[in-house]
Homo-oligomer: A and B are copies of this chain.
């Protein structure tokens, strides 16, 4: 089952590429020029994650955010960097420095989700 190119897909990918922070479904929907169905947006995003184009972040609010991977492939994901989630403006951004967390012997770690929440620079100053 190979992938097909569609306008919606390209538009979402372009959005994520241009965005300096991770986006959830709502954010994607409201930033798109054309109206795209909610399920479709989720399917597009999940497809991107499967294909290793995008990584999924679980926010402090339990919602899914998606960010363009800078240098991941379908085989090797290194989503080992922390994120900052602003509780005021809801921005979720990737922090650069990667991170390694030890687990007890016998455990098999697969994914890492690191989120610092608080106030981003903008929201911290305007308050």
Contacts and interface: CB of A to CB of B under 8 A. Distances in A.
Interface centre among A84, A99, A116, A118 (most CB of B within 10 A): A116
Nearest to A111: B117
A114 to B, nearest CB: 5
A95 B99 contact: no
Copies in the complex: 2
Contact of A121 (B107, B115, B120): B107
A62 B60 contact: no
B116 A109 contact: yes
A5 interface: no
A8 interface: no
Interface of A: 58-64, 82, 84, 87, 95, 97, 99, 101-121, 124-125
Which 9 A/B pairs are nearest by Cβ-Cβ distance?
A106-B121, A110-B118, A62-B62, A108-B119, A109-B118, A111-B117, A108-B124, A113-B115, A108-B118
